[in-house]
Structure 1
Amino acid sequence: MTSPTGEPARTRGPEGPDAPANPLTRLPLDELRRRTSMKWRTYPPDVLPLWVAEMDVPVPPPVARAITDALALGDTGYPAGTVYAEALDAFARERWDWDGVVAERTAIVPDVMLGIVEVLKLVTDPGATVVVNSPVYPPFYAFVEHMDRKVAEAPLDPYGRIDFAALEITFQEAAAGGRRAAYLLCSPHNPTGTVHSRAELAAVAQLADEYGIRVVADEIHAPLVLRGARFVPYLSVPGAESGFSLMSASKAWNLAGLKAALAVAGPGAAADLARMPEEVSHGPSHLGVIAHTAGLREGGAWLDALLAGLDENRTLLADLLADELPQVRHIAPQATYLAWLDCRDLGLGDDPAARFLDRGRVALNSGTAFGTGGAGHVRINLATSPEVIKEAVRRMAASLG
């Protein structure tokens, strides 16, 4: 079996009577509404929240045990050591056949976006250009501009893949006059769920080397690649030695409230990473490190059950849209638990999410926040029960009447 990009596809999944239950079907809606996080407190109780990247799952048992044990010990101090990097290294070897997470070339950072900021400070100057592929995760714009850098867009092609002609033009402009510039690569891509192939990533590395662009890859969704595709770490491709990766267990095990992430440097970027200020390592939560490490080391079976559930939800969404909203176009995501819906044929203007919220009482992400190519689109979060997805699509269709 091969993926849509020609990569060998891994078809892991829970099987047998002892396999974990689908985590997405464990919690009833009334219990979820007791949560006090952003997803459940931003909108009134009659709204179905399918927007921000939080999953409707219980805490994975290995993570719960690790946190409970730490609290029992009073182990609530400052993080130390390389246990997180070692756990990620073992996970990467098992899942991606990659041995590039070398503890000596890693740094613990508060979370992926703050880690990106710190890495960009190492390899660019104030006023420098940071290239992104739009439409893309909105914080790419906000964080880069807040740190006094400029964002330059190289839009994706109509199929949600990297447009290399556009990327080369943008690289030329970003590096004109010998200026230091960077490329903030989203891999897998948010919001489209695209998994970049090995050939595509090798082409990125070659182009970046030609123009002297430093590549910083946000790979936070790497564990969440669905059936039929395979994640390729950017630092594993030829020519990527001077790049960086930012990784975390937060998305795959739903740990956004337990802050911790890792910056990983390629062999040619180790000296740059060594210049990261020591105080950056004070930002992550010690409990976060414990939780993320437990997920990576002991949460594989739970993750496989989640991936199987997400794969079912991906198919369910496609079927529901075909039946109830046939004018909505989308390419089924290869990764993440997010789907990118093209609603332009509905005639709802640039922000269809507003109609779905006001009349349908479904909260989705507005595509306009994702930059060029986002108008007329919405992003929907599939990390919930099939029943919630069915009700959400029913409400969206009813809102058009």
Structure 2
Amino acid sequence: MSVTPLQALPLDLLRQRSSTKWRSYDDDVIPMFVAETDFPLAPAITAALHRAVEIGDTGYTPPRPGIDVDFAAYAQRMWGWTIGPSRIRWTGDVMMGVVEVLRAVTSPGDRVIVTPPVYPPFYDTVEEAGAVVERVPLIDDGERWSLDLAGIERAFSRGARAILLCNPHNPTGTVHSRESLADLARLAERYGASVVSDEIHAPLTHAPAVFTPFLDAAPEAAAVGYAVTSASKTYNLAGLKCAVIVTGSEETAAVVRSLPWEVEWRAGLFGVIANRAAFAAESDGWLASLLVALDDNRRLLAELLAEHLPLARYRLPDAGFLAWVDVSAYGWGDNPSPHIRREAKVALHHGPLFGEQGIGHVRINVGCAPEVLREAITRIGALARQG
């Protein structure tokens, strides 16, 4: 049975939004930088929030908000991952959860591995937790990116206490294989290290790629791992604060239970309401339509780049709505995004913020209407032809 692609909202309506994407630049700039999408909310989310406003349900988040049960059911439907609700806690957003777990599993000055090019807040989060960033870049074999397990083992052997994993990876869109995640879990167990896995892009995995939750990758993963995720990226809910922290063993669950009580209080009630509606089976059809739209756009981007920016290098991402593109051949400097924004009026994310592997790169948000994507790449192509 075919699924109809989800339609993005019209630009005149989107420009009435007050979020970062639509308030950072003037209206002559096409915003494709921050990870917000242009689609309508899933109807179940809209209905749940509308009802909350209608009855004035705007108070404190309850001590048992129910998101543990809802996420457990969602994980079972999406990935065949069985989690006991008692292993699921909640907080304000993924980076809040990450920093609190890192504080719990490291001591000040400990080294934490990150795998650039990677989501820029990873670097800040490690430092906020009092730890020190140790970079072990992804391996790029020219066809795809993968974890440098040998490099990670060397870092563990030299005393790194944890790794902050991006699974699926942002910005490359890489879905790490079950085998590599299992190997990572065994390495972490061997060296007494922890794995904190940011899995916020997991529901956006494109077939034939298959997402593997880190905690489900191998028996060892349950002993060393913590997963932090949210509906916020997939369902465009970043302004409604809520995320879940998932553990796989009694020992790691005890670590999360020992976190300060305010870690859970940081989850906003509207965030919980929206996340619960997103995780409900009622929203699965909306997600299927979104995935078709994003799959179409990631492929359309390849066609547009071939037509307008033939020297650019781009691989279809396994997951998400973010495209990692090397435009260094055009001579726009180490950080091409400001030049593109000034001259082509298209705002892209700054490649070097993801690490030195991002020099000459841009990150493009394709979570938009096809005609918006077409106009953006046409503008950049015209800039390239100017020389």
Using the TM superposition, give the Cα deviation of residue 143 of structure 1 relative to its aligned residue in structure 2, in angstroms: 2.0
Correspondence for 1:339 among 319, 323, 332: 323
Using the TM superposition, give the Cα deviation of residue 82 of structure 1 relative to its aligned residue in structure 2, in angstroms: 4.6
In structure 1, what residue type is equivalent to 2:18? T
* Paired residues of 2:209 and 2:318 also in contact (CA < 8 A): yes
Q: CA RMSD in A?
A: 1.3
Counterpart of 1:373 in 2: which secondary structure? helix
* Paired residues of 1:153 and 1:372 also in contact (CA < 8 A): no
Quote the Cα distance in structure 1 between the aligned partners of 2:166 and 2:123. Answer: 13
Residue 218 (str. 1) matches residue 203 (str. 2): no
Correspondence for 1:311: 295
Quote the Cα distance in structure 2 between the aligned partners of 1:92 and 1:369. Answer: 32
The 10-residue stretch of structure 1 (46-55 or 75-84) with the greater mean CA deviation from structure 2: 75-84
Correspondence for 1:392 among 359, 376, 383: 376
Quote the Cα distance in structure 1 between the aligned partners of 2:257 and 2:9. Answer: 44
Map 1:111-126 onto structure 2 (within 5 A). 111-126=93-108
Correspondence for 1:183 among 122, 141, 163: 163
* Paired residues of 1:216 and 1:245 also in contact (CA < 8 A): yes
Residue 41 (str. 1) matches residue 23 (str. 2): yes
TM value normalised by structure 2: 0.95
Residue 134 (str. 1) matches residue 116 (str. 2): yes
Taking every aligned residue pair, what percent have the same amino acid on both sides?
A: 46
Quote the Cα distance in structure 2 between the aligned partners of 1:354 and 1:366. Answer: 8
Quote the Cα distance in structure 1 between the aligned partners of 2:232 and 2:330. Answer: 35
In structure 1, what residue type is equivalent to 2:163? Y
Deviations 1:330-360 (A, max 9, x none): 1110001101001122222211112211111
Residue 162 (str. 1) matches residue 142 (str. 2): no
Correspondence for 2:265: 282
Counterpart of 2:314 in 1: which secondary structure? coil
Correspondence for 1:144: 126
Residue 105 (str. 1) matches residue 90 (str. 2): no
Correspondence for 1:357 among 302, 326, 341: 341
Correspondence for 1:7: none
In structure 2, what residue type is equivalent to 1:95? M
* Paired residues of 2:68 and 2:86 also in contact (CA < 8 A): no
Ranges in structure 1 where 5+ consecutive residues have no aligned partner: 1-14, 176-180
Correspondence for 2:176: 196
Correspondence for 1:321: 305
TM value normalised by structure 1: 0.92
Counterpart of 1:259 in 2: which secondary structure? coil
Correspondence for 1:235: 215
Quote the Cα distance in structure 1 between the aligned partners of 2:321 and 2:294. Answer: 7
Counterpart of 1:251 in 2: which secondary structure? helix
The 10-residue stretch of structure 1 (340-349 or 243-252) with the greater mean CA deviation from structure 2: 340-349
Correspondence for 1:247: 229
Deviations 1:173-220 (A, max 9, x none): 343xxxxx1110000000000001110100110111122110000001
Quote the Cα distance in structure 1 between the aligned partners of 2:340 and 2:38. Answer: 21
Counterpart of 1:240 in 2: which secondary structure? helix
Residue 92 (str. 1) matches residue 72 (str. 2): no
The 10-residue stretch of structure 1 (305-314 or 73-82) with the greater mean CA deviation from structure 2: 73-82
In structure 1, what residue type is equivalent to 2:304? L
Counterpart of 2:133 in 1: which secondary structure? strand
Correspondence for 1:3: none
